[in-house]
Structure 1
Amino acid sequence: MATFNVRPDIDAAVAKLSSTVGTKREIQHLPEVLWEGETVEMLATGVYGKGNGLLVMTNQRLVFYFHGVMSQKVEDFPYRSVSSVQWSGGMLMGTLTVFASGNKAEIKQVPKDQGKALADLLRQRISEATSAPTQAAPAAAPAGDIASRLATLDQLRAAGAITDEEYRDRRTKILDSL
């Protein structure tokens, strides 16, 4: 296994990869796509769209990163916007499907051991992101509060923080509280 000496968290995640073939450029340039204070927890290889790249699980989001000679692709999935994850594995490889903000992303040719572990950890992160404490709604909410809650809900949907299904469910609950 090649040694990269990029950053301690990245190097630790690289050490757990079964192979770095086709992802050396992504590993070397990974700090350029990470946010301030973001740390890498797990890496896997896979194919998304037309590119063979690197799946990166951080403490804040899941990132698919492809860094080619002529083009780059970075797509991220913040945990709060991921509604579910599906893993289907074959003998050696599998497909990780991520459902986020009403969209579906299929990352194929993920090595079976890496994909299963990544899917399990991703489910845990989603659960942590969505299990924020909620407050009980008051018995009778003032009309101004309802309008404010509906406006906030509209903003969340527009920003892609919730799916259309979540939007409908929450809107119904708000209107039922009248």
Structure 2
Amino acid sequence: MGKYNVRPDIDAAAEKAGPTLGSRREIEQLPGVLWEGETVDMLATGLYGGGNGLVALTSMRLIFLKHGLFGQKLEDFPLANISSVQWSAGMLMGTLSVFSSGNRADIKSVAKPQGEGLSGRLRMLIATAKTPATPAAPVPPQAGVQDVASRLATLDQLRVAGAITDAEYQDRRTAILNSI
């Protein structure tokens, strides 16, 4: 993908992904859709929802981002909500199927090396997250309030930056408030 000088983690993921076409705009816009403290691990390109865009595996979620001339499409799958991943490939390209919250999302035309890497890494993250560990200490109520406040602040930043529309802002704000 080349050097973009966007952010060290994004540049490193772009270097690992190798050459792809038409992803420069999405890579440059990626910092605007990331949450505070979220880092990018892997990148690829693919087709989803009728558009060619960027697939980013981060420390918190799998993101599909398409930034076109007439708007932006962003769909994310929080890692905690992904129940399984399926990879099917032909000679050069394949389809990454993500099962999340009872739904299936197919990201098509992913280059074989990147798709294999993404599916393997996602499987590892899913398995690690579901492995029983020592019981977690109860979260104090204040921590949840701070999380909601930080998510709302990030959402406000996305709207101000023009990364999401007013309608998307209202939908996501409502979803965050309903999660309390």
Matching residue of 1:125: 125
Residue 69 of structure 2 is aligned to residue 69 of structure 1? yes
Unmatched tracts of structure 1, length 5 or more: 136-158, 160-178
- Considering only CA atoms, is the larger Rg found in Structure 1 or Structure 2? 1
Q: Secondary structure at the match of 1:16?
A: helix
Q: Which amino acid aligns with 1:83?
A: S
State TM-score, norm by structure 2: 0.72
Q: Which amino acid aligns with 2:90?
A: G
Matching residue of 2:82: 82
Q: Secondary structure at the match of 2:84?
A: strand
Q: Deviations over 1:115-169 (max 9, x none)?
A: 001100000111122224376xxxxxxxxxxxxxxxxxxxxxxx9xxxxxxxxxx
Separation of aligned partners in 2, 1:134 and 1:106 = 35
Residue 40 of structure 2 is aligned to residue 40 of structure 1? yes
Q: Which stretch has the larger CA shift, 120-129 or 4-13? A: 120-129
Q: Secondary structure at the match of 2:110?
A: strand
Q: Deviations over 1:61-95 (max 9, x none)?
A: 11111111101111111111111100001000000
CA RMSD of aligned residues (A): 1.5
Unmatched tracts of structure 2, length 5 or more: 136-174, 176-180
Separation of aligned partners in 2, 1:98 and 1:134 = 28
Identity of counterpart residues, as a percentage?
Answer: 60
Q: Which amino acid aligns with 1:46?
A: G
Separation of aligned partners in 1, 2:94 and 2:35 = 28
In the TM superposition, 1:162-177 aligns within 5 A as none
**Is the Cα contact below 8 Å between 2:46 and 2:107 reproduced in 1?**
yes
Separation of aligned partners in 2, 1:3 and 1:18 = 10
Residue 24 of structure 2 is aligned to residue 30 of structure 1? no
Matching residue of 1:13: 13
Tell me how many residue pairs correspond in the alignment.
136
Q: Deviations over 1:4-55 (max 9, x none)?
A: 1000000001111232311110000100000000000000110001110011
Q: Which amino acid aligns with 1:17?
A: A
Separation of aligned partners in 2, 1:12 and 1:134 = 33
Separation of aligned partners in 2, 1:51 and 1:131 = 35
Q: Secondary structure at the match of 1:12?
A: helix
**Is the Cα contact below 8 Å between 2:93 and 2:112 reproduced in 1?**
yes
Residue 4 of structure 2 is aligned to residue 4 of structure 1? yes
Q: Which amino acid aligns with 1:64?
A: F
Separation of aligned partners in 1, 2:79 and 2:17 = 23
**Is the Cα contact below 8 Å between 2:2 and 2:18 reproduced in 1?**
no
Matching residue of 1:103: 103
Matching residue of 1:175: none
Separation of aligned partners in 2, 1:55 and 1:76 = 10
Q: Secondary structure at the match of 2:126?
A: helix
